[in-house]
Structure 1
Amino acid sequence: MFVRIAGTVGTAALVIGALLGIASPANAETNPHCGRVDKIGSTAYIKSGSTTIASVKQFKGCNKNWSYTYVWEGFRSSHSGTWWACSGVSTSGGLQDYKCGGNHQVEVWSSGANTLSVCTKAYGQLEWSNGEGSTATDRQC
């Protein structure tokens, strides 16, 4: 009897773990240009009024800095018109490596900036038919 209960509990734990793994947003941050990147600094948020509509993060890897913009589901589901997300790496010399996705592209990675030797911020922007918002992460040196 104990073996049967333990087996059932163990199977349930595996199923729950698998379901949590499927629900995890981790693969929303898989860089298509560099196999291994590490997040640096804090996440910044683009807002429309008091509503968060996108997040911006900075990563480093493959000897480059990367900016990443992700458009949140709440915005996507409530905006059927056109919208574009953009992402770039900002330095004291200006915006580098700025890239915009296509209409309704959920995530945008910059192309990678050769800026590891200077201080940088990730910059993200979201434009839609009747508005726009932008933000930058904290500076990383």
Structure 2
Amino acid sequence: MKRALMVAAALTLSVLSPGMAHAESAPGCGPVTQIGSTAYIQTGTSSSSIVASVKQFKGCGKNWAYVYVWDQYISKGRSFEILTAIYPDGANPAGGVRQRNKQENWSKGTNTLSQCTRASGTFVDLVGDPSYGYQEFTDKRC
């Protein structure tokens, strides 16, 4: 029984922690490489309340933030908004992009590779509570 629980936990972690992305394409840049870990936006305390992933990428001499809203939330057909931005240490957020009802959202590329930065994703359920945003940050990368 204990071994079965350990296997189930390992499988869950492998699904929720895919690690570094190989390469994705930022708008106007082409292939970029993920830096740091993936963060997860949750609207509750259970793993079933995860609605989106947040990642930070580098490429074309810039940092990029990226949010992907999970299929299980998209399939609900609810209206939502996401905001994606890069947060340099000790500075205001940069490159912010806000979109409504889009599954993927890229920030603008920021000239912050020489700074410590985190990517941020904010998710707002426009049906449930449009006045509240669930925000999550990736780990800091220097």
TM range (shorter): 0.7 to 0.9
Structure showing the higher helix proportion among its residues? 1
The alignment's TM-score, normalised by the length of structure 2, stands at 0.74
CA contact (8 A) 2:24 2:32 kept: no
CA contact (8 A) 2:24 2:33 kept: no
Distance 1:76 1:140 in 2: 30
CA contact (8 A) 1:33 1:111 kept: no
The alignment's TM-score, normalised by the length of structure 1, stands at 0.75
- The alignment yields a C-alpha RMSD, in angstroms, of 1.6
Distance 1:38 1:47 in 2: 24
Q: Secondary structure at the match of 2:26?
A: coil
Q: Which residue of 2 aligns with 1:48?
A: 43
CA contact (8 A) 2:24 2:30 kept: no
Distance 1:65 1:86 in 2: 16
Letter in 2 for 1:99: V
Distance 1:33 1:85 in 2: 20
Post-superposition CA distance 1:24-74 (Å, at most 9, x none): xx8x94322211211000000000102110000000000100000000011
- Is 1:109 aligned to 2:93, yes or no? no
Q: Which residue of 1 aligns with 2:17?
A: none
Percent of aligned positions with the same letter in both sequences? Answer: 42
Structure 2 residue aligned with 1:128, among 115, 125, 128?
125
CA contact (8 A) 2:24 2:31 kept: no
Q: Which residue of 1 aligns with 2:32?
A: 37
Q: Which runs of 5+ in 1 are unaligned?
A: 1-25
Larger radius of gyration: 1
